[in-house]
C-alpha cells in the first residue's frame, strides 16, 4: 500500500479526520451555540479546546450561523481586538455586504467608529484602528459588533467566540463587565468564552464575585478515554498506509499521557520513523526524537526556574506522587519544609509545568518529563 503522508497533527488546532473523540462535548456545545445560550469552555492547554470550538463553529456556519471568532491572546492591545472583531464580523453569514463589489462602505457605515481599510492579496478587506484609539471608541466598536450579531440572529444562530479569554483584562480591566452588559442586552447572541488558565478564568467567570458569574453554562473538557485515543491512532495510522497494532497503540498512549495534542505529537514522530508496521521499538525511538527536537525549549524552561522548583519538577518527572508535602518528598527535593514545597508547586502549576491528574502531581508535558529523566 502506498504511503499517503503523516496522518497525525499537533501544535495547532485540528480539523476533519484529525479531530479525535469529543462527540458528546461537540453536540452539547453546538446545540447551545445554536440556541443562543452563553457558554464557558475551560480546559488546560493542549486538551483540544480550540479544536472543539472551531469544529462546532464550522458545523453551525455550514447551516447558516453567523459566527465571529477571535483569539484574545493574539490581540496585542484594545485597538487590535476591536479591529479583529470587525474583520471577522465582515465575513459573518447573512451579511449581504460581502456579496457585492461595493459592500465594504455599506458595512463600515454600520459602525460609529470608522476603521482604516486595507485589502489582502485575495482582495479581502482588513480593518485597522490606530494605536491611539481611545477605550471609549473601542467599546463602541465592540458594542456595534454585538448589535450586528443580534441583528443577524433574526436569520439564524449568531455566536461571538472569544478564545483564550483569560487574557481579556490585559486589554482592559473593564471588558468583562462590558461583555456581561452586552450579553444581557442581546440575549439571542450566544457568547462563548474559553480559557486555559484555570486561576484566571475563575476570577473572571467562576467565583461568586467574578464579573461573568452566573451568566453562562460551564463546559469542562477532561482528557479523552484511552480507548478513544487508541482506536483513533489505529484508524489514522491505517489511513496513512501503516498498520499500528492495538498493543503498540496502547503503549504510545501510555507514554504520551492522556492529552490529545501530546498523543498526536508522539504519534507523528512514531509514524515518521516506522516501517509498514509500527513496533514498540518505533514508539521508543519516536519518543527520543520528540524530546531531541525540543531540547532547547526544555532547557530554557528548566533554567527559568529557581533551584528549588527545579528539584521539585525533576523529582516529579521520575516519581509522580499523591503526597508532595510528605516528609519523604520534602527530603527528596532538599527543601526546608512542606511550605517551601507548596510554594514551588504553586508556581509550577500556575506556569502549567505541573498538573494534578489521577489524584497525583506530575509533570504536565510528557516530553519535558522525559528530558528531565535524561
> So what's the pLDDT on residue 200?
63
Query: What pLDDT is stored for residue 362 in this prediction?
Result: 94
CA distance 281 to 295: 21
Confidence (pLDDT) at 101: 53
How high is the pLDDT of residue 1? 39
User: Residue 374 corresponds to which cell in the numbers above?
Assistant: 535524561
| pLDDT the model gives residue 99 | 60
Q: Which residue ranges in the chain fall short of pLDDT 70? A: 1-4, 14-18, 20-21, 95-102, 197-201, 211
| Residue that has been written with the C-alpha cell 489521577 in this structure | 358
Domain 22-220 has CATH 3.40.50.300: yes
CA–CA separation, 240 and 2 (whole Å): 9
Q: Give residue 98's pLDDT.
A: 62
Residue 185 CA: distances (Å) to CA of 97, 150, 179: 25, 9, 10
Estimate to the nearest angstrom the gap between the alpha carbon of 294 and the chain centroid: 20
Domain ranges of the chain: 22-220, 226-293, 298-373
Whole-number pLDDT of residue 3 = 45
What is the value of pTM for the model shown?
0.73
Distance between CA atoms of residues 68 and 88, nearest Å? 5
Q: What is the pLDDT of residue 119?
A: 82
Pick the CATH number of 298-373 from 3.40.30.10, 3.30.450.20, 1.10.10.10, 1.10.940.10: 1.10.10.10
What is the helix, strand, coil percentage profile of the chain, to 5?
55, 10, 35
Number of alpha helices (DSSP H) and beta strands (DSSP E) in the chain: 17, 9
**Residue spans of beta strands (DSSP E) within 78-130:** 116-119, 125-128
User: What is the second-level CATH architecture of the domain 226-293?
Assistant: Orthogonal Bundle (1.10)
Amino acid at each position: 500500500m502506498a504511503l499517503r503522508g503523516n496522518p497525525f497533527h499537533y501544535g495547532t488546532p485540528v480539523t476533519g479526520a484529525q479531530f479525535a473523540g469529543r462527540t458528546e462535548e461537540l453536540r452539547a456545545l453546538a446545540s447551545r451555540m445554536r440556541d443562543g445560550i452563553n457558554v464557558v469552555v475551560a480546559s488546560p492547554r493542549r486538551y483540544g479546546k480550540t479544536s472543539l470550538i472551531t469544529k462546532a463553529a464550522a458545523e453551525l456556519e455550514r447551516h447558516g450561523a453567523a459566527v465571529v471568532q477571535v483569539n484574545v491572546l493574539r490581540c496585542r492591545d484594545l485597538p487590535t481586538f476591536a479591529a479583529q472583531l470587525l474583520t471577522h464580523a465582515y465575513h459573518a453569514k447573512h451579511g449581504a455586504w460581502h456579496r457585492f463589489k461595493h459592500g465594504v462602505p455599506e458595512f463600515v457605515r454600520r459602525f460609529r467608529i470608522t476603521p482604516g481599510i486595507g485589502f489582502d492579496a485575495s482582495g479581502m478587506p482588513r480593518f485597522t484602528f490606530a494605536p491611539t484609539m481611545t477605550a471609549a471608541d473601542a467599546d463602541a466598536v465592540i458594542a456595534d459588533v454585538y448589535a450586528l450579531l443580534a441583528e443577524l440572529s433574526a436569520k439564524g444562530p449568531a455566536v461571538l467566540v472569544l478564545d483564550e479569554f483569560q487574557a481579556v483584562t490585559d486589554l482592559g480591566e473593564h471588558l468583562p463587565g462590558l461583555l456581561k452588559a452586552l450579553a444581557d442586552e442581546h440575549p439571542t447572541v450566544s457568547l462563548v468564552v474559553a480559557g486555559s488558565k484555570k486561576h484566571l478564568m475563575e476570577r473572571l467567570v467562576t467565583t461568586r464575585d467574578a464579573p461573568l458569574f452566573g451568566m453562562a453554562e460551564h463546559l469542562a473538557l477532561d482528557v479523552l478515554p484511552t480507548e478513544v485515543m487508541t482506536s483513533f491512532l489505529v484508524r489514522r495510522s491505517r489511513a496513512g498506509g501503516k498498520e499500528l497494532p492495538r498493543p503498540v497503540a496502547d503503549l504510545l498512549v501510555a507514554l504520551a499521557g492522556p492529552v490529545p495534542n501530546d498523543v498526536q505529537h508522539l504519534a507523528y514522530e512514531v509514524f515518521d520513523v516506522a516501517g509498514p508496521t509500527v513496533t514498540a521499538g518505533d514508539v521508543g525511538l519516536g519518543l527520543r526524537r520528540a524530546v531531541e527536537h525540543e531540547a532547547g525549549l526544555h532547557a530554557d524552561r528548566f533554567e527559568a526556574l529557581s533551584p528549588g522548583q527545579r528539584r521539585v519538577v525533576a523529582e516529579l518527572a521520575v516519581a509522580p506522587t499523591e503526597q508532595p508535602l510528605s516528609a519523604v518528598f520534602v527530603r527528596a527535593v532538599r527543601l526546608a519544609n512542606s511550605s517551601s514545597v507548596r510554594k514551588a508547586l504553586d508556581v509550577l502549576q500556575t506556569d502549567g509545568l505541573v498538573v494534578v491528574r489521577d489524584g497525583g502531581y506530575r509533570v504536565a508535558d510528557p516530553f519535558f518529563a522525559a528530558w528531565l529523566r535524561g
